[in-house]
Amino acid sequence: MQPPTFPQAHDPRALLRRWRAVARAAGLSWRVLAEVEAATIPLLTRQQAGAAPIYLSAGVHGDEPAAAWGLLLWAERNLPSLRAGSFYICPCLNPHGLRANTRADWRGLDLNRRFHLDEDPVCGPWRRWLSSQQAPVVGACLHEDYDAAGCYVYELGPQRAEIGATCLRAAAAHLPVDQRRSIDGRKAHQGVIRRSRIPQDLPGLPEAVVLWQLGCPRTLTFETPSEAALAVRIEAHVAFLQAMVALHQPPIPS
């Protein structure tokens, strides 16, 4: 359950080998969402009666390795939580980008501007699959940002009962919160950018927005600063997920 060192952090096969072990240990179903250019893009699910599904996703941008490894380490350390709940998990939606250390996918495209497209070979199957399932109660889309001055979160959902700030405080045990008042051109308050509607100025729709369109009432896009140490960034993702899942799951008996 060790975090990866630098070259291994960009090896999607090493990442997915560890996910296979998690799937076996936690009873997650492993399905192939898409096969592109000799790479498998898996989707892991578990459905437990009475537990609302929680959506977790990473690896949309390949030059943001702490997101993908943070999700894995959270899973490896929380097998009882996985066994007790319902989850939809996309561990690595852009394996070519992870291997090449690029934001773009194998076509040179930004996958996170294509989730509205039924014809996309990754986003299309993702859309069709998610549309046929019970909508998740909450979703986390994990990312990193080269311009960030600390961690921050986009929260898309109802104005009341914010949870992004709570999850961000958990991550702040590892990395400072980005205190800028404007992040990525959007108004921010103590690292939280809040949205209750879809922004109109997007060049294409990201995963978190389409997840919300498809019925998930709250999506959190968590970002760590790419220039901090990799192991610390990974721990910040783990802490963020730990807090988010705890808020949506009854306590697990030990």
Q: Which residues bind Zn ion (CB under 5 A)?
A: 61, 64, 143
Residue nearer to Zn ion on the CB measure, 67 or 89: 67
**Residue 17 CB, nearest distance to Zn ion (Å)?**
24
Residue nearer to Zn ion on the CB measure, 28 or 207: 207
Q: Tell me the C-alpha distance between 157 and 138, whole Å.
A: 9
Q: Tell me the C-alpha distance between 36 and 86, whole Å.
A: 27
Residue nearer to Zn ion on the CB measure, 143 or 174: 143
Residue nearer to Zn ion on the CB measure, 23 or 72: 72
CB 131 within 8 A of CB 214: yes
Residue nearer to Zn ion on the CB measure, 27 or 146: 146
Q: Tell me the C-alpha distance between 90 and 56, whole Å.
A: 6
> End-to-end distance of the chain based on CA atoms, in angstroms?
20
Q: Tell me the C-alpha distance between 238 and 63, whole Å.
A: 18
The contacts of residue 181 (CB under 8 Å, 6+ apart) are 187, 188, 189
User: Where does 66-108 show beta strands of DSSP type E?
Assistant: 86-90
Other residues' Cβ atoms within 10 Å of the Cβ of residue 147: 12
Give 157-165's long-range contacts (Cβ < 8 A, gap of 24+).
157/195, 157/196, 157/212, 157/217, 157/218, 157/219, 158/196, 158/217, 158/218, 159/194, 159/196, 162/192, 162/194, 163/138, 163/218, 163/220, 163/244, 163/247, 164/192, 164/194, 164/220, 165/190, 165/191, 165/192
Residue nearer to Zn ion on the CB measure, 55 or 86: 55
Residue nearer to Zn ion on the CB measure, 61 or 237: 61
**Residue 52 CB, nearest distance to Zn ion (Å)?**
26
**Residue 153 CB, nearest distance to Zn ion (Å)?**
13
